[in-house]
């Protein structure tokens, strides 16, 4: 398992997306690709559902620093965060890959720039018509339409996240959008901002791939664990009207619940 060990050692961001045949699962790994490192992009490993054994990782697609991954609802397209050079400067991008379920191989369909700094997290709406991504370093939200074949269209909207900062001057010196979650009813996108101690609610028009900040539904995360909660990511929650949120008020992480109205 030397290859797997080197992947984990050389990767400081790792995301997994799975597809599930009958007896095994194909797991895709998004990796960091430092100049002198061994990682070259997105890897696939096979998980034996009966034994729990993992196969050696196989390069599924070469890519520069592919971050978080997400599957299209149809299971035939994989989306990855990455980097693109625009006007001579590196910036954030979203890439679409056609997925061959039989072989697990990925074929690049296209890539679109976010128009800003690197991206951190992404989500696809349940209808497969819109993709939303956020930037930790840039503190903004961006949306893209998805074409019929899964390609990413040119961005349709982008806006910064603003508000009072949290009390931790080292970690909360500006907006740090950490994750985005689409509501089960496909009406809203919720953005957890670590720097602003806040969960932003945005109305989602999936048909137009447009987001509108919902000023009536801005949830201060300080109501969960106290000022300085630093909301990070959503955890699975069985309720359709609640969001389970992972926060980090202290060196260890905590969880809290927000009620969806």
pLDDT of residue 49: 86
Q: Coil, strand, or helix at residue 226?
A: coil
Where among 10, 34, 62 does a domain terminate?
Answer: 62
pLDDT of residue 25: 87
Pick from 109, 132, 106: which is nearest to 119 by CA?
Answer: 132
Same domain? 56 vs 96: no
Instruction: Specify whether 210 is located in the same domain as 103.
Output: yes
Q: Which residues of the chain have pLDDT under 50?
A: 1-14, 217, 220-226, 228-233, 235-237, 251-261
Which residue, 30, 62, 94, sits at the end of a domain?
62
Q: What's 3's DSSP letter?
A: H
22 and 82 in a single domain? The answer is no
Domain count, the chain: 2
Q: What is the CATH number of the domain that holds 237?
A: 2.130.10.10
Whole-angstrom distance, CA of residue 231 vs CA of residue 234: 9
Specify the DSSP class assigned to residue 239: -
Residue 203 and residue 165 in one domain: yes
pLDDT value at position 215? 67
Q: Are residues 253 and 177 in the same domain?
A: yes
For residues 39 and 82, state if they share a domain. Answer: no
Check whether residue 27 and residue 116 sit in a common domain.
no
In a shared domain, residues 96 and 206: yes
What are phi and psi for residue 216, nearest 5 degrees? -80, -10
The verdict on 123 and 199 lying in the same domain is: yes
Q: And the tokens for 121?
A: 């997290």
Residues 101 and 206 in one domain: yes
Specify whether 163 is located in the same domain as 251. yes
DSSP string, 160-179: E--SPPPS-TTT-SS--EEE
Q: How many CB atoms lie within 10 A of CB 7?
A: 20
For 23, the domain range is 1-62
Mark which of 36, 62, 88 sits at the end of a domain: 62
Question: Which pLDDT does position 194 carry in this prediction?
Answer: 85
Residues 204, 79: one domain? Answer: yes
Q: Which residues contact 198 (CB under 8 A, 6 or more apart)?
A: 161, 163, 218, 219, 220, 221, 231
């Amino acid at each position: 398992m030397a290859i797997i060990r080197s992947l984990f050692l050389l990767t400081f961001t790792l995301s997994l997306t799975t597809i599930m045949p009958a007896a095994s699962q194909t797991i895709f790994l998004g990796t960091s690709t430092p100049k002198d490192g061994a990682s070259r992009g997105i890897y696939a490993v096979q998980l034996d559902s009966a034994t729990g054994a993992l196969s050696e990782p196989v390069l599924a697609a070469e890519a520069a620093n592919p971050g978080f991954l997400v599957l299209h609802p149809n299971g035939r397209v994989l989306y990855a965060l990455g980097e693109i050079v625009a006007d001579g400067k590196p910036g954030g991008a979203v890439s679409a890959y056609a997925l061959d379920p039989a072989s697990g191989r990925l074929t690049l369909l296209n890539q679109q720039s976010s128009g800003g700094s690197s991206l951190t997290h992404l989500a696809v709406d349940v209808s497969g018509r819109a993709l939303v991504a956020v930037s930790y370093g840039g503190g903004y939200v961006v949306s893209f339409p998805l074409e019929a074949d899964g390609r990413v269209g040119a961005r349709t909207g982008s806006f910064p996240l603003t508000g009072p900062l949290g009390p931790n001057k080292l970690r909360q010196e500006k907006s740090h959008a950490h994750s985005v979650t689409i509501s089960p009813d496909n009406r809203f996108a919720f953005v957890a901002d670590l720097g602003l101690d806040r969960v932003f609610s945005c109305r989602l028009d999936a048909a137009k791939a447009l987001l509108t900040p919902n000023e009536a539904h801005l949830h201060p995360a300080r109501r969960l664990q106290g000022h300085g909660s630093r909301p990070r990511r959503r955890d699975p929650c069985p309720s359709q009207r609640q969001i389970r949120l992972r926060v980090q008020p202290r060196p260890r992480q905590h969880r809290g619940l927000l009620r969806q109205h």
